[in-house]
Structure 1
Amino acid sequence: MSPLTLQHRRAHNLLLMQKLLSTRDASSPFTLVLDSVEQTAGPLARAWVRGAKASKTDVVFVAYESLKAPGDVSGFVKARGRDAEAVRGEIARVVVGSRRTLLILDSLYPLIMNPHPSLPLSSFLSSLTSPTTSLLAIYHTDVPLPSPSSTTTYAPTPLTLLRYLATTVLTTHSFSQTLARKRAAEKSRSGPLFGREEGKEGVLVGMGANDSRGCVIEMEYRRKSGRGIEEWFFLPELHRDDRIVLLDDHELYRRSDANEGTLEADGLGAESATFELELTEKQRRDREGVVLPYFDAQKGEGGGGGRILYDMGVEDDFDEEDEI
């Protein structure tokens, strides 16, 4: 990748991700986070809360799975076992309309499994957002859903509907597993499988899941114009001093090819790594000194037609009729 391209990504995509984490200017009214047991959305949610508090934004946590409120939240709504209408009413009482607020739903699974008859999932999520309120919802991709009924056979799946509604889609990946897949791709090997994808009995979580160093975030941001921006980031744990960076800038993710590093250090481009088409001065002199076969035939004047040069030997029988 050229240095200018990488510099452009640092200047724009990294700034965009930092803007999303700080919930400034309502950059993303609805952010969908896709996680799994291989990499949970916990580190990303904590980073989002920390960025919201730094920008003086209220954080309201809607708990379907959590038993207690996480730190640095200004409101906590217990939603387990309650229908969508009651949860929406409780959120309306906690949220202050004049203040910027971040709503975090720790799981969308109960809303998908137990939909309200008069309040579909799309309507429920749309009613939670406003010019001063943004939504961050977590969807567990490894939790199976029941087969659709005959009445909803042609309806979109819940994940398809959520991806359509979301203005930003963030997918979390294990850092250790991402490095393993990259090493396999560099050696032209098939990528390794982890967890349930391995197909082994009793294996639910793969090696390297929920890496303590941090997590990898795959971002898909939709602009108002319809143009999408895709990027990969590395988010370190909160106890580290490092900030979020592009995945390509992480020292462990960079290519370890010594030849490529030497070329970059010498300032040589991709053209210098291939063969040279131009001749050196010595090669040019040697080429001019080469006598080509049948070189004598090229000394004749033009227009005389082709000629065959042949030296007769003593064993040849010359006939005057053969002379032209």
Structure 2
Amino acid sequence: MGPTTKAQHERHSILQLSNVLNLRNAASPFTIILDSLHQPASPLVAEMIIRGLSRKTNIVYVSFERKFSHPALHTIQAWTHSSPTNLLSAISTALNPHPQSLVLIDSLYDLLVDKQVDLNDLFQLIAVKHSSSIVGIYHTELQPPPHDAPSTYAPTPLETLKYTATTILTCASFAQVLEEKRARERSVAVATTGLLSEAEGVVQPLTAPKNTSTPTSTDISKGIVIHAEFRRRSGRSETESFFLRRSAPTDFSTPSGALLREFAILLSRHPSFQSLPHSHSEEQDKEQEQQGGGSEMNSTFKLDLTDKQRAARENVVLPYFDAQREGGVGEGGRILYEMGWEDDFDEEEDEI
């Protein structure tokens, strides 16, 4: 049974995200992180690495974009391997001494398109053989060239990854989320930036405030927005938006390094998000919740009638109502018809 109250739903959603970030109980064998130029996935990946190292988890970093990495990570330079077999062999060697590990891939596009690694072979090696989790980053701006598709109806690599993933985390800029919410409240079109605007020039991320009501840039740089989609084994999915701030040393215990308390919150709970004006429908929903719900329909029209209107409705005579009462009870309904000048009255047919 799912959560029934708002508080239970909030605790349930935060627990799901916490299990994915902390790699607990194999909550998500295959997690996809979707990022863009406006909001890279580096803050989220750094948080997962910090939490993994705090739990003494073996982290294998398959790098396509970075030459240097943290010494605590087992880094595999993917571009140095000429074939998919050699790359999978290097990953297997890094996973062998440990019972459970985390495999981070900083570019799933390069893994599937450039290296031509079979996705099924990757799952069999990491998830099945070594009982480990996979976290891969996919840059949404990267689109495969047309000649890479074997046919017109073949799915793109991103569609294939979304179909097989157990959790999809989409990174979004907190400043952009606030601007989009403010535009929706004003009933104006959301401004498109970057590649979506289809304009030539330099792509500049939206990180600075435009007016006084927008939070300062220092508040925005402290965290990112995560639009999460959790998929169960039954196929049912749950979606929720979170705000994840940067971790601090005080969030972890000094002797063991374990996380003291989950600091990811729902996006709707963030003070800057709550300070924006709400729409009329949201205000009505809040008033209805404060009044204890009610069974009446939530509408802008007044549907109830006054005593005078109810009496006038009862005195209205319906068409041909006299035919239902003529002759008393038991006769049933009759047809009242008055002949006009265009009707031809035939006496013979009338006699028959």
1:120 matched residue in structure 2: 118
Letter aligned with residue 142 of structure 1? E
Deviations 1:152-207 (A, max 9, x none): 33321111111111111111111100110111111111111111222332132332
Larger C-alpha radius of gyration, 1 or 2?
1
1:226 CA drift (Å): 1.1
Provide the C-alpha distance between the structure 1 equivalents of 2:73 and 2:197, rounded to a whole number of angstroms. Answer: 42
Provide the C-alpha distance between the structure 1 equivalents of 2:148 and 2:103, rounded to a whole number of angstroms. Answer: 32
Provide the C-alpha distance between the structure 1 equivalents of 2:192 and 2:149, rounded to a whole number of angstroms. Answer: 34
Among 213, 216, 229, the alignment partner of 2:238 is 229
Deviations 1:94-140 (A, max 9, x none): 11455221110111222233244xx5244334422236310000011
1:173 matched residue in structure 2: 172
Cα contact 1:61–1:104 (8 A) shared by 2: yes
1:318 matched residue in structure 2: none
Provide the C-alpha distance between the structure 1 equivalents of 2:273 and 2:124, rounded to a whole number of angstroms. Answer: 38
Provide the C-alpha distance between the structure 2 equivalents of 1:264 and 1:50, rounded to a whole number of angstroms. Answer: 42
Secondary structure, in 3 states, of the residue corresponding to 1:26? coil
Provide the C-alpha distance between the structure 1 equivalents of 2:103 and 2:136, rounded to a whole number of angstroms. Answer: 8
Change (3 A) 1:217 1:18: same
TM-score, with structure 2 as normaliser: 0.69
Provide the C-alpha distance between the structure 1 equivalents of 2:149 and 2:289, rounded to a whole number of angstroms. Answer: 65
1:277 CA drift (Å): 7.6
Identical aligned residues as a percent: 33
Among 214, 221, 227, the alignment partner of 2:223 is 214
Deviations 1:19-56 (A, max 9, x none): 11110111111101111111111011111112222333
1:305 matched residue in structure 2: none
Matches within 5 A, 1:291-302: none
Change (3 A) 1:132 1:97: farther
1:256 matched residue in structure 2: 277
Deviations 1:288-319 (A, max 9, x none): xxxx9xxxxxxxxxxxxxxxxxxxxxxxxxxx
Change (3 A) 1:258 1:95: closer
Secondary structure, in 3 states, of the residue corresponding to 1:148? helix
2:49 matched residue in structure 1: 49
Cα contact 2:185–2:277 (8 A) shared by 1: no
Change (3 A) 1:201 1:228: same
1:25 matched residue in structure 2: 25
Provide the C-alpha distance between the structure 1 equivalents of 2:150 and 2:59, rounded to a whole number of angstroms. Answer: 38
Matches within 5 A, 1:100-119: 100-116=100-116, 119=117
Cα contact 1:97–1:132 (8 A) shared by 2: no
User: Gaps (5+ residues) in structure 2?
Assistant: 209-216, 252-261, 313-352
Secondary structure, in 3 states, of the residue corresponding to 2:87? helix
Aligned length: 282
Secondary structure, in 3 states, of the residue corresponding to 2:227? strand
2:152 matched residue in structure 1: 153
1:193 matched residue in structure 2: 192
Cα contact 1:98–1:132 (8 A) shared by 2: no
Provide the C-alpha distance between the structure 1 equivalents of 2:139 and 2:46, rounded to a whole number of angstroms. Answer: 17
The farther-off stretch of 60-69 and 49-58 is 49-58
Letter aligned with residue 236 of structure 2? R
Letter aligned with residue 236 of structure 1? R
TM-score, with structure 1 as normaliser: 0.75
The farther-off stretch of 198-207 and 165-174 is 198-207
Secondary structure, in 3 states, of the residue corresponding to 2:147? coil
1:10 matched residue in structure 2: 10
1:69 CA drift (Å): 1.2
Change (3 A) 1:157 1:266: closer
Change (3 A) 1:99 1:8: same
Secondary structure, in 3 states, of the residue corresponding to 2:225? strand
Provide the C-alpha distance between the structure 2 equivalents of 1:239 and 1:26, rounded to a whole number of angstroms. Answer: 26
User: Gaps (5+ residues) in structure 1?
Assistant: 293-324
Letter aligned with residue 244 of structure 2? L
Secondary structure, in 3 states, of the residue corresponding to 2:175? helix
RMSD: 3.4
Cα contact 1:84–1:124 (8 A) shared by 2: no
Change (3 A) 1:158 1:58: same
